[in-house]
Amino acid sequence: MLHRNPRRKSISGLKVPNKQCFVREVNPQRDRMDKLQEVTWPSTWTYRDKQDVREKNLRGNMPLLIPGATAEWPLSKLAHLPTKSFLASLLSIVEQHTNIDEPLCAAKCCACEPSSVSMSLREYVTTTWLAKPDAFPPKLPPLQFLDAPMALKDALELLRTITTSKPDFACDTKSCNGSVYLKDLHLDINSLATALYRVPPMFADDFLNPFFKHQYRFLYVGTSSTFTPLHADVLRSFSWTANVRGRKAWLLFPPTQKAEHLAAFEQVAGLDLRGVKEADLQALPSHCFFMVQPEGSAFFVPSNWYHAVFNLDPLTLSINHNWFNATNIMHVFEHLKSQELSIRKELSAWSNETHWQNEKKNNLCDSSDKSSDENYETVQTILKANAALDRKGLRALLLAAPRLDHLENDADRAAVATVLGQLGNAG
C-alpha cells in the first residue's frame, strides 16, 4: 500500500510556471545535498540551427532540448482535447492505418510489481481509459517545481509526491490497472507516422530505420508515474522523444560515468527513481542531470548516455525514434565489438577454458579475419540474436546508406570508411 509522503510540504508552495523546464547538475560528492549549486543550462543543450546541432549535439554527443518541436504535428492539433476524446481520436487515426487489436507490449509499471503484458492499443485505450468513470484520471494537485537550486533528493521527493498523491492509481497488486505504460506501438507504417507527426529535420539523417523497415519508431502512452528504468539505448543508438502531451522527468548520466557507478545506481534505485533514499545517493556517480521535459518539446538523448524516465502527467504521450548515422556510427560499432567480447568470454567460460588466452586472436578489431577464428560464426549468430545486428548486418546497412561520396563532410566519410574498413568482408 502506498503512503503519503510526510515530507511533501517541504517542496510545495513555491509558485513557478507549470511548464517550466529546468536542468540541474547533481553532485552528491558535495557535503550538503541541499546546498547544491544550480548549473546553468549547458549552452550545447539549447537548439540553435540544424548544422550546429549536427556538430555540437550529434557528433559532439550532447543532449538537446527543442521546445515547441511538435507544434505543427497533426497529433498536436488534438492535444488540447479532454483526455478521453484525445485517446478516442488517436484510436480512430491509428485504426485507419493498422490493426489496433494486435497485441503490443504494455509495461505495467506499478510500484510493487513491474511486469510486461500483452495488450492491444484498443484494449489499452478502452480498459485503461474509456471504461473508467469520468473522474478518471483523478485530478492531481498542480505540480510545482522549484525555481531555485534543486537537489536530487528534492527531485526524488517530487517524484514520490506525484506517485503517492493519487489514491486511485495506487496498486492493488492483483490488477494494478491504474498504471499502465503502453510502449511498443511500432510506427513502421509510413502513412500512420505521417498522420501523427513529423521527424524534426535535424534528426532526419537516419541509417537505421530505412534498413530495418522503420522498426525503431515508437509511440509511448502512459498514465502518470509510469516509467522506463535506467538504460542506454539499443545498439547505443541516438534517440529522440517528443512529448505530444504531458511531461517527462529525466535523469541522465554522461557516458563518461563508470559502469560500476551506474551499476551502483541501479542497485539502489532498482527499476525507477522512486525507491531511492537520501543515504543511497552517495552511490551516485559524481555528475548526473535531472530535468523536466515540457509538453510539446523534443529531447535528444545522445549515444551511450544512461537515462531513467518518468511520466509526470495524468496522460503522457510521446513519439520516440532510435536511430544512428555517420556521426555516431563509431559508438554503434564499438558497442557491437564490446558485445562480441562478452560473447567470446562466455563461450570460453562455457568451453571450460581456464584462462583468457590468445589476446591477439580475440582482439575484436581483427576478428573480421574469419579464417583464423573458429568461433566467428557462433559469435555472430549470438550477436545478431542479442543486438539484432551482426557484422554482416552492419556492413549491409552501411552499404545501403548514402554512398561515401554523398556524405556530408570529411568527418562523416572518415567514420563510415573506418567502420567499413574494420568490417572487411564480414559475411
Ligand X SMILES: O=C(O)CCC(=O)C(=O)O
| Binding residues vs ligand X (CB under 6 A) | 220, 228, 233, 239, 241, 248, 301, 307, 309, 318, 320
Closest distance of CB 396 from Fe ion, Å: 25
Nearer to ligand X, 76 or 239 (CB): 239
Closest distance of CB 253 from Fe ion, Å: 12
24 binds, among ligand X, Fe ion, none (CB under 5 to 8 A by kind): none
CA distances from 110 to 8, 139, 158, 169, 228 (A): 21, 19, 17, 9, 11
Does residue 142 contact residue 202 with C-beta atoms inside 8 Å? Answer: no
391 binds, among Fe ion, ligand X, none (CB under 5 to 8 A by kind): none
Closest distance of CB 35 from ligand X, Å: 31
Could you tell me which residues are beta bridge partners of residue 222? 181, 316
Q: Which among 152, 307, 312 has a CA at the least distance from the CA of 238?
A: 307
Residue in the shown chain whose Cβ atom is closest to Fe ion: 233
Would you say the C-alpha torsion 95, 100, 105, 106 has a positive or negative sign? Answer: positive
Closest distance of CB 30 from ligand X, Å: 28
Q: Going by C-beta distance under 8 Å and a sequence separation of 6 or more, which residues neighbour residue 78?
A: 86, 89, 90
- Cell representation of residue 374: 573458429
Q: Which among 311, 205, 295, 244 has a CA at the least distance from the CA of 93?
A: 244
416 binds, among ligand X, Fe ion, none (CB under 5 to 8 A by kind): none
390 binds, among Fe ion, ligand X, none (CB under 5 to 8 A by kind): none
Does residue 416 contact residue 205 with C-beta atoms inside 8 Å? Answer: no
Nearer to ligand X, 26 or 301 (CB): 301
Q: In angstroms, rounded to a whole number, what is the distance separating the alpha carbons of residues 217 and 223?
A: 20
Nearer to ligand X, 163 or 239 (CB): 239
Nearer to ligand X, 156 or 309 (CB): 309
Nearer to Fe ion, 205 or 233 (CB): 233
83 binds, among Fe ion, ligand X, none (CB under 5 to 8 A by kind): none
Binding piece for Fe ion, criterion CB under 5 A, among 24-32, 108-116, 226-234, 408-416? 226-234
Q: In angstroms, rounded to a whole number, what is the distance separating the alpha carbons of residues 208 and 12?
A: 44
Under the binding rule (CB under 5 A), the answer on residue 272 touching Fe ion is: no
User: Where does residue 84 rank: exposed (0-12), middle (13-18), buried (19+ CB within 10 A)?
Assistant: middle
Closest distance of CB 209 from Fe ion, Å: 16
| Backbone phi and psi for residue 337, each to the nearest 5 degrees, phi listed first | -65, -40
Does residue 321 contact residue 209 with C-beta atoms inside 8 Å? Answer: yes
Task: Pick left, alpha or beta for residue 193 (phi over 0 → left; psi -120 to 50 → alpha; otherwise beta).
Answer: alpha
76 binds, among Fe ion, ligand X, none (CB under 5 to 8 A by kind): none
Nearer to Fe ion, 241 or 327 (CB): 241
Closest distance of CB 183 from Fe ion, Å: 11
Cis peptide before 42 (omega within 30 of 0): no
Which of helix, strand or coil describes residue 102?
Answer: coil
Residues 123, 233, 313, 412: which binds Fe ion (CB under 5 A)?
233
Say how many Å lie between the first and final Cα of the chain, rounded.
55
Closest distance of CB 324 from Fe ion, Å: 13
Nearer to ligand X, 239 or 297 (CB): 239
Q: In angstroms, rounded to a whole number, what is the distance separating the alpha carbons of residues 82 and 84?
A: 6
Binding piece for Fe ion, criterion CB under 5 A, among 14-22, 131-139, 229-237, 413-421? 229-237
Nearer to Fe ion, 233 or 412 (CB): 233
Closest distance of CB 147 from Fe ion, Å: 28
Does residue 423 contact residue 394 with C-beta atoms inside 8 Å? Answer: yes
Nearer to Fe ion, 5 or 304 (CB): 304
Question: Rg (Cα) of the chain, in Å, rounded?
Answer: 23
54 binds, among Fe ion, ligand X, none (CB under 5 to 8 A by kind): none
Closest distance of CB 184 from ligand X, Å: 12
Nearer to ligand X, 11 or 332 (CB): 332
Closest distance of CB 106 from ligand X, Å: 13
304 binds, among ligand X, Fe ion, none (CB under 5 to 8 A by kind): none
CA distances from 223 to 9, 116, 248, 286, 314 (A): 24, 15, 11, 31, 5
Give how many residues touch Fe ion by CB under 5 A.
Answer: 1
Which stretches of the chain bind Fe ion, using CB under 5 A?
233
